[in-house]
Structure 1
Amino acid sequence: MSTSKNKSVNEDNKTKEETSIDIVKSSGDKVRFSMDKLRSSLRHSGATDDVVKQIVNTVRDELYQGISTKEIYNRAFSLLQSKKPVFASKYKLKKAIYELGPTGFPFEKFVSSILEYSGYKTEVGKILPGICVTHEIDVFAKKNGTVSVIECKFHSEEGRNCNVKVPLYIYSRYQDVKQQWDKKKNETLKMDCGGVVTNTRFTADAITYGKCVGLNLLSWDYPQGNGLKDRIDRLGLYPITVSQLLTEREKQFLLSRDVVLCRQLFKDKFFLDHLGISETRKKKILKEIEQLCSS
C-alpha cells in the first residue's frame, strides 16, 4: 500500500475515533466530542490556523472515553499559553466571567459596561417603583428616547442554566415597573423592553417564553451569532479576570473599585500604582491588556 493510501486510512481511523468519543460536561451529562467545536473555540482566541491544527492534533491523540470537558479545556489552554499568552487569555473568557463572582455585582457592572460601549447610558442598582411593590433594577439603560430594564442572572458554577422560571419571574417584575412608569404624566422616555442577561445558557423553554412575551434574552451563546461571547470578542470588552499576569488579589482589588474591563484598566493605569506594582511588571501587564483590547 502506498504512503498516501496509508495516510488516508489513518485519517479515516482517526475520524472514526473522534466520532466515538463521549465526554462528560460540567453538568454531568455525556455528549459526543466535537472536534469542530474545539477548532472553533481555538480560532475565537485569535490563534492562527497552524496553531489550531497543532493543538487539535495533540488533544485528539490524548482523548479517551469519559474525559471531562474541563480536562480538554485545561490541556488546550496550556498549549495556547505556551504559544502566545494573549490567545490563552481570550480562550479562558468563559471561565474569567465566572471569576467575576461570587456576589454577581461585578457581572452587573460588566453588563452595564458592554451596553455603554454600544451607545447606552446606564445605571446599576436603580430603584424603581412598581404598581404593587418597589424594585431594584440590576441595569437601567437609556438610548434613543427609550429605557430598558435588565436583570442579570449570574452563576458562579458551571453547568447551571436558566430555566423558564427565570424569564417568568423577570417578566412579571418588568410588567409591574412598566405599568407604573406608563402612568407618569411628565415622563418623555418610553419604557420599551425588559431583558435578562446570564453568563450561562437558557433552556429551550426559557427562550420560547422570552420570544412569546417579547423579553430580550442574552446568554453566553444566545442569540446565535450575537451572544455575550460574540459581543465581547467583537468589541474587545474583556473582563480583567482574563489577565494571565494579574494575581487573584490584584483582580479583586480592581473589581472592588469598579474596574471591570481591561479597557478601563488601560485608561486608568494609576490603579496599578495603588497596588504597588513595579514598573517592569506594570509594562508587561499593560502590554497584555493592550493586546486584548486591540484584538
Structure 2
Amino acid sequence: MEIDTIDIIKSSGEKAKFSLNKLKASLKRVGTDDQTVNHIISKVKDELYHGISTKEIYNRAFALLKKKNSHLASKYKLKKAIYELGPTGFPFERFVSAVLEYSGYKTSVGSILQGKCVSHEIDIIAQKNNVTTVIECKFHSEKGLNCNVKIPLYINSRYNDIKTYWNSKKNKNTLTNGWLVTNTRFTKDAIQYGTCANLYLLSWDYPKNNGLKDRIDRLGLYPITVSTLLNNREKQFLLSRDIVLCRSLIGDYFYLDHLGISETRKKKILNEINLLCNV
C-alpha cells in the first residue's frame, strides 16, 4: 500500500491524504533529532490503514516520542494541552493574559467597559505604552470546530460600541483595534472580514509564523497542561490557583509542595519545566 494514497480522517470529519512530510515537520518543529524522527515515522507507517484518524496517528507518535524524550513530548502535545485548559473558556483567557504579560502588557481579565449603547464584559483588557487593547477570546473545547465569520462580526460590533463611548470621553490612553483570539482556526470568511474591519485575529496558526503556537514556542510560555509528568488532578489544582504557565512554577515550588509531591518527582517535574522554558 502506497503511503500517499492512504485516506485519513481529520478531527473535523473531513477526509485527507496522509502526509509523511506533515508528520515529519510536526516532530522537527519541537526539536526532535533526525534519528528519533525516522524511528517514529517507521513505526507509524507500519500501523497506517485507510480511515485512520489523525488522533490515532498523533497518539502513536506522541507515545513513541515520550519514550525517547519527555520534554519534547510535552511540546508536541501543545495543541491538545490548549484544549485541556477547558471545558470553560476562563483558563484560556488567563493563559492568553499571561502570554501578553510576558510580552510587556499590563492586563486585567473579566472587566466591564461601557459602550455607547450598553456595557460589555470584556475577556481581557491589555495596556502598553498608553495604548489600550480590548481582547475577546473564543475557546473551543471540541476539536474540529473552527471560528466562523459570525464571531468576528459580533466581536467587532461590541468593540465599535465601546470605542464610540471611549472616544467621547477623551481618555488619556488610545483605544486600538480590537482583538479576537481563538484556540482553533479561523475560516476564510472570518479572516477576510477581520482584515477588512481592522479587527486583529490571532489563532492557533494565524497570522502565519506569528500564531498562538509560534508565540508560545518562541517565548517558552507553555500552559501547565503540556506536562507529561503532572496528572490531571494536579493540573486542575494548579489551574484553580491561577497557575496557567509552566514558567510560573520556576523558583516557586509552593504549589508543588502543597500537592504533596515527593522530592524525587518534584525534581523531575521542575527539570521538565526548565527544559520547556529554556531556563
TM-score (norm: length of structure 2): 0.98
Q: Which residue in the other structure is 2:13 paired with?
A: 28
Instruction: Note if 1:92 corresponds to 2:77.
Output: yes
In 1: Cα distance, 2:132 partner to 2:80 partner: 31
The correspondence for 2:102, drawn from 117, 135, 140, is: 117
Q: Which residue in the other structure is 2:201 paired with?
A: 217
SS in 1 for 2:206: coil
Unaligned runs of 5+ in 2: none
Residue 33 of structure 1: how far off its partner (Å): 1.2
Amino acid in structure 1 at the alignment position of 2:79: K
Deviation string, structure 1 residues 75-100 (Cα, Å, up to 9, x no partner): 00011011111111111000011000
SS in 1 for 2:250: helix
In 1: Cα distance, 2:121 partner to 2:34 partner: 47
The correspondence for 1:137, drawn from 113, 122, 138, is: 122
Q: Which residue in the other structure is 2:249 paired with?
A: 265
Q: Which residue in the other structure is 1:5 paired with?
A: none
Residue 115 of structure 1: how far off its partner (Å): 0.8
Amino acid in structure 2 at the alignment position of 1:144: N
Alpha carbons 1:122, 1:140 under 8 Å: kept: yes
Q: Which residue in the other structure is 1:75 paired with?
A: 60
Instruction: Note if 1:60 corresponds to 2:33.
Output: no
Q: Which residue in the other structure is 2:182 paired with?
A: 198
Deviation string, structure 1 residues 172-221 (Cα, Å, up to 9, x no partner): 00001111111113x21000110110000000000000000000001101
SS in 1 for 2:124: strand
SS in 1 for 2:110: strand
Amino acid in structure 1 at the alignment position of 2:168: K
Amino acid in structure 1 at the alignment position of 2:267: K
Instruction: Note if 1:106 corresponds to 2:82.
Output: no
The correspondence for 1:152, drawn from 137, 160, 173, is: 137
Q: Which residue in the other structure is 1:9 paired with?
A: none
In 2: Cα distance, 1:265 partner to 1:197 partner: 25
The correspondence for 1:182, drawn from 151, 167, 179, is: 167
- Shift of the 267–104 alpha-carbon distance from structure 1 to 2, 3 Å rule, reads farther
The correspondence for 2:240, drawn from 256, 259, 273, is: 256
In 2: Cα distance, 1:69 partner to 1:181 partner: 46
Report runs of 4+ in structure 1 exceeding 2 Å deviation: none
Alpha carbons 1:167, 1:206 under 8 Å: kept: yes
Instruction: Note if 1:39 corresponds to 2:18.
Output: no
SS in 2 for 1:147: strand
Residue 117 of structure 1: how far off its partner (Å): 1.1
Residue 57 of structure 1: how far off its partner (Å): 2.0
Alpha carbons 1:222, 1:228 under 8 Å: kept: yes
Deviation string, structure 1 residues 235-287 (Cα, Å, up to 9, x no partner): 10000001111111111111011000000022321111111111111111111
Instruction: Note if 1:230 corresponds to 2:221.
Output: no
Alpha carbons 1:147, 1:193 under 8 Å: kept: no
TM-score (norm: length of structure 1): 0.92
What's the Cα RMSD here? 1.1
